[in-house]
Structure 1
């Protein structure tokens, strides 16, 4: 049993069966978060306090970042079709799996994001005075994820 904390730089991400492993090389993943909001209910005639009850969980969007490569990848094609369709065709959802890996490349923890679909694509700013990679950001909404 390993008692050291897991490192955050060794992870893998995979998409539905259509996408190849070449589409899965990301340098950053963020947005793995769920919040359980509360609602306050006041009982009639009781002015000392309010009851707090759980609401519906809310999930942040999953943001994936990688160096921009001009290729005809299935992942980018899925984003292009979804973001440019203007509701002329149905949105295709996929299951996204994120795995935190140990030093041998074995999964320590897995998260499965259900019904994921593209909501935003962006590329980093261009600046002739800096020597940086162009970073592509892909943002996905999803219904829920397994902890």
Structure 2
């Protein structure tokens, strides 16, 4: 009998796709060429359906509720500060009015680092970058955070969806 344990939340990695219209770059992102490593936390993998309420005249025992628009909170990525400046430079591009939106992939992997689930976000904008809190009396790791606003979040790889679904979602 095969035992299917829940996946641990610490085995994940993230890739940003610089040009979603270029299939070769998308394939490279999937293979790890644009993987942004070393993240200690990724939050905001959520979606919500907003509800439109309608109170019908003469029907006083209920309020009718209908599904409306989808809403997605910002994704926040946290990692220890290293020598790479890629997150800040992406944000700085928008500060200068020269920024470019990016699509991204967030992979959840098993113990062998094989991706089991993947979420894609579309048209990401780095809306907030936070540098490390510097404190000489603490030995904590210096952490930077990047908050990404996006238009859509979709589960594109799971045991029920094959790699072909992921390939189609990122345009290869």
Please report the TM-score for the alignment, with normalisation by the length of structure 2. Answer: 0.74
- Residue correspondences, number: 142
Q: Deviations over 1:35-70 (max 9, x none)?
A: 112121011222221101112111110000111124
Question: Equivalent of 2:73, from 54, 60, 77?
Answer: 60
How far did 1:34 drift? 0.8
Instruction: Determine the C-alpha separation between the residues in 2 that align with 1:21 and 1:134.
Output: 23
Instruction: Determine the C-alpha separation between the residues in 2 that align with 1:45 and 1:34.
Output: 34
Which residue does 1:77 correspond to in 2?
89
How far did 1:24 drift? 2.9
Instruction: Determine the C-alpha separation between the residues in 2 that align with 1:21 and 1:37.
Output: 34
- Please, which runs of 5 or more residues in structure 1 have no aligned partner? none
Q: Deviations over 1:80-138 (max 9, x none)?
A: 111x22xx44x411110011001121111110001111100002322221111110001
Instruction: Determine the C-alpha separation between the residues in 2 that align with 1:111 and 1:63.
Output: 14
SS in 1 for 2:93: helix
Please report the TM-score for the alignment, with normalisation by the length of structure 1. Answer: 0.86
Tell me whether 1:108 sits opposite 2:116 in the alignment: yes
Please list, as runs of the form range in 1=range in 2, the aligned pairs for 1:7-46 lying within 5 A after superposition: 7-17=8-18, 21=34, 23-46=36-59
CA RMSD, Structure 1 to Structure 2 (Å): 2.0
Tell me whether 1:134 sits opposite 2:142 in the alignment: yes
- Please, which runs of 5 or more residues in structure 2 have no aligned partner? 20-28, 156-172
Question: Which one has the bigger helix percentage?
Answer: 2
